[in-house]
Amino acid sequence: MKSFIFRVYFFSALALALAQEIAIAAANHSRDEVLARFEQQGIFDPALISEEDLLAHIQAVYAQETDPERQAALAKRLLALKWMKLWDANAEMNAETAIIDDPLPPYFHPSENWQWSSKLTNPVTGRMTRLHYAADTQGRTSHLASGVFPSILPVNGQLSQEVYFPDEKFPTQVWIRIETLYVGMPKSKPITVQARWTQQPETIMATENRPANFYAGQLPRTTGWHTFTVKLIDLGLCGTERIISNIEFGAAGGNVWFGRTLIQRPFVEVRGAQKYNVFSPQEPFAFEIRAHNFSASTKAYQLDILASDYEGMVLRRETLAFLIPPHGTQTQPFTIPPDTARYLTLEYTLREKGIPVYHGYSAAAAIVSNVSGRKPDSPFGMMYWDQPGREVRDFYERLGVKLMVIFPQIERLHLFDSGAFEIMPMFWALPQEKPQEEEKLRQQIPPYLQAGQRIFSNFWETDLRVPAQLFAVHMHRFTEIVKEIAPNAMTVVGGMAWFNVAYVQQLLQAINNGMPYFDAITAMSYNTPTPPEYTGLDEDAAALRALFETYGVPQTELWNVEWAYFENLNLNRGEWQNTGVAQEQIAAYTIRHHLLGFASGIHRMVPGTNIYIGRTPLSKNYGHSMSLGRSSIFRYDLTPLPLLPAYSTMTRLLEDAQFIETLDSGDANVICQLYRRKQSQHGDGLLIVAWTAFDHQNVVLRLPSAIRADDKPVLLSNMLGEEQWRYASDGNVHLELSPEPRYLLLPNITDEELLQLNLSVAEPLLAVEPRIIDATPGVANTATLTLHLHNASDAALRGELRLRLPDGVAMISQKIQYQDSMSALLAQKMKLDEHEILLGRGHGADAVYEISLPETPSRNAYYEQVELGRQSDMNMMAEFVSEGRLLASATASARYLPPLDVRLRPVLKTAVSADAPTLQVRVVNHSAVSRKGEVWLDASGWVQIAPLKQSFSLAPGASGLYDFTLTGMPEQTLDYLVETTDTALQRVVQQVKLQEGEPMRLTHYLQHSGYLVTFGVGEGYFIEALAREQSGIETRQGRGFAFRPTVKAKTPIVIDGNLDDWCNAMPQFVNPANRLNGLTFFANMYGGTMQWTGNDDFSAAWQMMWDDDFLYLATRTFDDHVVPQQALRTFWNGDVLSLQIDPLPDESDASILPIPRDLRQIHTFDIGMNATGPIVRRKYATFAHPAGTVASIRMAAKTMPDGIQYEIAIPWTELDPLQPTSSGWFGASFAWYEDDGGGRETYINWFGGSGGNGLAREPRLFGDIHLVEDVSLP
C-alpha cells in the first residue's frame, strides 16, 4: 500500500505542477522563446527545435556562464538533454574522472568553511596537490561542494575517495554525503545518501538495501594517504538518471584531509555495436570489450568470457589478453555469429596472474523489428511518463508499441510520429459551467487533432478523486466539447485506480436517452506478486462488460492501464516489502497478463513500469524510491532483460490477431488460447498460445484432419521468439508447456475444422524424470536422469534421442531399457546405435542417463540479482527426432541449493503464549563442508527478542533449530480506546493502557506502531531471521506474523447462525480505517465526500475454532445496507467474503528472492448468499479438489439490521494436507467486500493483497493461525 499511496500523492503533485506548466505552442514561436522556455521549465517542442541544436546551444551557454546559480540550472538542463541519448551518454565520462580535485572544478563551489592544506605529493599521480578540510567544531568537521556535476554517470563502477591522516589523532568516523536529483523531471526533489567509514567495525548484510546513512568500511589507524571506495550502486548513483548536486565531506573525533573524489567505471565494460545491445536476428552479436587499468603501473590481465543462450547453453567461450598502461584502457572485439538464439548472456572474469580482480555480467537480444506503422486498433500501448527523447521513441517503435499515454504537454506530442503512434493525453478537466476550464480545453485539443491524433482521456485515478455523480456531469461536458471540435474523436474515462464496479455503474446511470458520453473506460491493476491467472482480471473485466451490456453500451471499450509487477526485493530490515516478483518470472508474468486481458475482452493493454525505460533506478538504496519505477526490459547497465525480446515477439505475432476462444484441456493449470491472424509475415493462419500457471506439463495437441499430415511441420516459437519446426506424429503434436508462453503457428482452417482441434493432458511421447534435480553446492554431484518414451500412435516409431547438456555437465553412462522383451529383442536384431530407439504401437522405453554436475553452476546471469545469492538452474534439454523430424522435447533442471537456508516457524502451544510467542529458526547446511556462524532475528514494531543471537555449527547436510522469544515492549506510554468484538461478534470498545518499559500483549491492535499497521501488501509484526556464516555466506527470511491462536472446541459447534457456543474463541475485529480500497479518498478536494462513513457503514470481524473433524469459522460484516450476491458474472459483487488457507506454511519462501509457491496447494473459498441461500464456492482448483460449489461445507447465514453473519464448518478433508494437530499452524487471508447496491465499491482484508479480489494470493503474505487447546487467557 505504501507504493499505492506514493502513486496517489505523486500524481496529485504532478497534476498540480502540470496545470501550471501546460502551454500551447504557437507556430510562430521564436527561437529565443523556445530556448528560454527550456532553460526555465526544462521542456521543449521537437517540432520547433531539434535535440541536437538545443544541446549545442545549452553546451555553448553553459561553457560561458559564471554565475553559480544559473550555471547549476543550465547543468541540469544539459544533463536532461544528454539523458535523452541514454546509450551514448552512458559512455561520455572517461574511465576515471576526478569530480573533486585541486583546483576545485568550476561546476562546484566551496562552502565558506572550506580550507586548503599546503601541497603534498599524491602517491598515485605523483604531482603536488592541496587537500581540503574544515576546521574542527566541537569534535566534528564538515564542508560542502555545491553545484551540479555536468556529466551523465556511468551505469556501474565505484566512487574512490582519497584521504590523508596528517597525525595520529585518527577520526572515529569519516563520511561522504552526496545529494542527487532525478534528471528526468525538471522539478525533482533532492535526495541524500551518506557513506560512512568508522573505527569500530559494523556488520552489515551484503544482501541488504543500504539505508540513507550506511556503513561502508573500517577506518585504518596509520598516518598518510588512504583510498576509500564505495560502489555507485550503494550510493544510489548507479544508473543514468541521477544528478550529483552537492557533496559534503565530514569527520568526527580526529583530523582528516580529503584529496580527489573519483568516479571510476567498471574494470570491464561490454558495449554492443547496436544501441542497448539489441540486434536483428540476421546480424552477428558484435561487442567491444573495454578493460581499464586504474593503477600507476602497467597491468597484464586475462579476461575469461562465457556467452550462453537463454537456457544456459554455451555459445562461445574465450580468453582475451590485455596489456594496459597505467591509467589506460584497451579494447578488443568479441563476436558471436548469427544464431537462433534471441537472448544472450555474457559472464566474464578479469584475472591478474590467475587471481580474479573483477566479475561482471552483460546481456544482448535479437528482435525482429515491428515497425509496421500506426494501427488504430492495436492492443499494445504503454505509459510514457518521462521524455527520454527520440532515440528511445524509435526503440519503442521497433518493439511494436502503438499507443502512448502521455501527460498533456505539446512537447510530448511532437516527440511521436503520428504515422507510427497513437497518442492519448491525460487531461484534467472539470469544464461544466466553468468557462475558464472549458476555454483551456478548447485550446488544448486542436494541436493533437492537427497532429492526426484522436483519443482524449479525462483525469487519472479518477475514482479516487472525483465522486462519480460529479464526474459524470463534467465528463458529459468534456465529451461534448471534444466531439464538437472533432466528431470522430474518442473520449476516455482516465485511469480508475482499480476495476471499480460501483463507480462505473454510477457513471453509466448518468447516460441520457441511450447516448453514451465516453467511448472507453481505463482501469489499473497492481496485483503484484500474484501470478496473472490468480489476479481476478477475468472477473473484473466480466463485471464491467456486463454493466456495459446492461446499460446498452456494449461497444464501450475497456482498457487495462498502468499495471505492473514490481521487482522490488525484500531487502530492507524492518520494512515489509515482500511483494516483488523475481526477475526470472517478470517476463512470463507480463506476457501472460497481456494474453489473459485479451481473452477477457480487454481492448488495450497499457502496462506501466515493466516495459518502461526512462526511469531506471537500480541502486540498493530505497531512499531513491527504488521500489517504484523499475524497468523490466533493461538492466541497470542499459542492456536487455528477457522481457524485451518476449514483448517484441508478442506484439509481432498478435498485432493483427483476433482472439477466438480458450481451448479446454481438462486441466486448469494448462491455458491454451486460439487466435486468427491476418496480414502477418507468416500469412493468414491460426495462432495457438499455450502455457501453464505452474511447473511444466506435457500436452498433446490433436490437429484437424485438414492439416494432420505428419510430413508438414508447424512452426513453434518460445516466449523469446526462438523458432523451430515441429512435426506431428499420427496427427498429434507433442508439446511440453511451462509458465513461459509458447506460440504455435498453424495454417488457416475453417470454423468447422477448428472444432476438431483438441488439447489433452495425455501420456506424452517424451517425458523426463526427475524434472528437478536438487544439487549440493561445493561438491561434485552425480544424478540419474530418465527419459520416458511412449508411442501411442498407430504406427511404429524409430527415432533418435538427443540430450543437450549445459556447460560443466557431463555424461557418465547411458542405456536404453525397453518396457517389454519383444521390443528389446527387435531393437537388438536391427542393430540400432546407442541413441536410437524403436517403439512399436503402444510400446515404450526408458533412456537412463547418469550425469555429473559441477561443484558450482554456470549461472545464467542476465540479472544483477544473481549476485544477491540465487543460484540459477542448469537446464538439460532432451529431444526425440525421427527421420530428421523433431517430434517431442522435454526439459530437466539441476537446481543448486543455497549453502545455507533459514526458515521461520512461529510456535504457539496455548492461547496465552500468543503474547510472548516463540519463533523457531531452522538453519540448514546444504553444502558439502561444515558451517559455523550466527543466527539472529530482526523485528519491527515494539518487539524485544531474546536471546539476541545464537551460534550454529552444522555438519554437511545437517540442520539445527534455534528458539527465540518475542515480547511486546512499548516505547512510549499510551492510553487509548480501541474498537473490537466479543465472542458473539458484537462490537465493543476496549480501553488499552500501555506503560513504557512494561510488557504488552502482542495481540493489541496498534494502529500506528504495530500489529495491523500496514495495509494490503503485508501486515502484522515483521520478523526477519538472518544467518551469517564465518566465511561471509548469508541468508535471510522475513514475513509478517499475527500470532493468532484458534482454540479447540470441547464439543462440536452447532452450525445454526448463532454464536452461543463460541465463548472460548478469540475474535479479531478488522477496522477499515486507513485500510479501504478504491474509494474516492480525495473527494473533498472536488466538493464531495468519501463513501465510507464509519464502522457502521462497513467493517468486519472473524474468529475460528476447531476440533478433530472441522475447522470452524464465524465471521460478521457490519453493514448498513446488506446486498446479496449480484448477477454481474462475478461472485464478489454483493456483501460476500473470500478466504484463503495455506495448509503448508512452512514451505513458503520469504527470502530476498522468493520462489513463488504453486497456488494449487492453496485452498480459496468464496462465501456468500445467492437466491437459494448461503453458498461456498472453491474459487480455484487444487491438486485434489476441483473448482466449484463445495457441498461438504456446512454453513448458516444470519441477516441482521446492522449486517450479515456467517457460521461455517469446513471438513479437514477439504483442507488437505492440513491436519487437526495441536500446536499446528496454517496461513490465512481474508477479504470482505462492500456492495451498497451498485456492485463492489470497496473491500477490507486481513493479511490481504493489492488489487484483484483483495486476497493475498501469494502465501508468504498470509497471516499465521495456530491450533491450540488451552483456553486460559491472562
In order, the DSSP letters of 1140-1203 are EEES-GGG---SSSPPPP-GGGSEEEEEEEETTEEEEEE-S--SS--SEE-TTSEEEEEEETTE
Q: How many CB atoms lie within 10 A of CB 724?
A: 13
Q: What is the SS3 string spanning 629-697?
A: CCCCCECCCCCECCHHHHHHHHHHHHCCEEEEEEECCCCCCEEEEEEEECCCCCCCEEEEEEEECCCCE
Kindly tell me the burial class for residue 64, based on how many C-beta atoms sit within 10 Å of its own C-beta (0-12, 13-18, 19 or more).
exposed
Q: In what order do the strands lie in the sheet with 836-839?
A: 772-775, 885-896, 874-882, 797-804, 836-839
Residue 1234 and residue 1198 share a domain:
yes
Q: How would you list the strands of the sheet with 732-737, edge to edge?
A: 732-737, 697-702, 758-760
Dist CA 373 CA 381 (whole Å):
14
Question: In sequence order, what are the residues at sequence separation of 6 or more whose Cβ sits closer than 8 angstroms to the Cβ of residue 435?
Answer: none
pLDDT score recorded for residue 644: 95
pLDDT of residue 681: 56
Question: Going by DSSP bridges, is the β-strand pair 490-496/520-523 parallel, antiparallel, or unpaired?
Answer: parallel
∠ at Cα 806 (800, 807), nearest 5°?
A: 130
Residue 279 lies in a domain: yes
CB 187 within 8 A of CB 147: no
Specify if 1 maps to a domain: no
Shared domain for 679 and 579, answered yes or no, is no
Segments of the chain with pLDDT less than 70: 1-29, 186, 205-211, 236-241, 387-388, 568-578, 613-630, 679-683, 857-872, 940-941, 1004-1018, 1129, 1153, 1271-1274
φ, ψ dihedrals at 227, nearest 5°: -125, 125
Compute φ and ψ for 236, nearest 5 degrees. Answer: 75, 20
Residue 118 sits in which domain range?
96-264
In a domain, 89, yes or no: no
Residue 608's alpha-carbon distances to 492, 611, 1257, 1274, in angstroms, are 18, 7, 22, 50
pLDDT of residue 387: 63
Residue 919, all three cell numbers: 519463533
Which one of 366, 393, 412 terminates a domain? 366
pLDDT at 570: 54
- Which amino acid would we find at residue 1080? T
What is the separation of C-alpha 156 from the centre of its chain, rounded to a whole number of angstroms?
A: 22
Q: Give domain status of residue 1074, yes or no.
A: yes
Residue 411: predicted pLDDT: 79
Question: Do residues 347 and 390 both lie within one domain?
Answer: no
DSSP-assigned letter for residue 915: G
CA distance 1142 to 1257: 10
Residue 805 forms part of a structural domain = yes
Residues 583 and 520 in one domain: yes
Domain assignment of residue 219, yes or no = yes
Question: What does the pLDDT read at residue 863?
Answer: 38
pLDDT digits (tens, 9 = 90+) for 503-513: 999 999 998 77
Q: In whole angstroms, what is the distance from residue 1218 CA to residue 1110 CA?
A: 11
Task: Indicate if 243 and 305 belong to the same structural domain.
Answer: no
Q: Which residues lie closer than 8 Å to 515 by C-beta, 6 or more apart?
A: none
State which of 636, 654, 672 marks the end of a domain: 654
0.75 exceeded by pTM: yes
Q: What CATH number does the domain containing 1181 carry?
A: 2.60.40.1190
In eight-state DSSP terms, residue 26 is P
Contact by Cβ (8 Å): 854, 809: yes
The CATH number assigned to the domain holding 907 equals: 2.60.40.10
**CATH number, domain with residue 731:** 2.60.40.1180
By C-alpha distance, which of 1034, 1226, 1159, 1250 is closest to 568? 1250
Rounded to whole angstroms, what are the CA distances from 687 to 548, 683, 724, 736? 29, 11, 15, 17
In the sheet with 268-272, reading across from the earlier edge strand, the strands are: 268-272, 285-292, 329-336
Show Cβ contacts of residue 1153 under 8 Å, excluding neighbours closer than 6 positions.
Answer: 569, 582, 865, 868, 869, 870
1055 and 1176 Cβ atoms separated by less than 8 Å: no
Three-class secondary structure of residue 403 per DSSP: strand
Asked whether residue 711 is domain-assigned, the answer is yes
Do 499 and 620 fall within a single domain? Answer: yes
In a domain, 771, yes or no: no
955 grid coordinates: 555438519
Residue 1208 and residue 1130 in one domain: yes
**Is residue 321 domain-shared with residue 376, that is, in the same domain?**
no
Query: In terms of domains, do 674 and 821 share one?
Result: no
Look at residue 24 in the predicted model and tell me its pLDDT.
42
* CATH code of residue 465: 3.20.20.80
Could you say which of 338, 366, 394 is where a domain stops? 366
Residues 252 and 299 in one domain: no
- Looking at the structure, do residues 613 and 646 belong to the same domain, yes or no? yes
> How many structural domains are present in the chain?
8
1188 and 1067 in one domain? yes
Q: Which residues does residue 1205 pair with via DSSP β-bridges, in sequence order?
A: 1116, 1198
Specify the length of the chain in residues: 1274
Q: What is the CATH number of the domain that holds 234?
A: 2.60.120
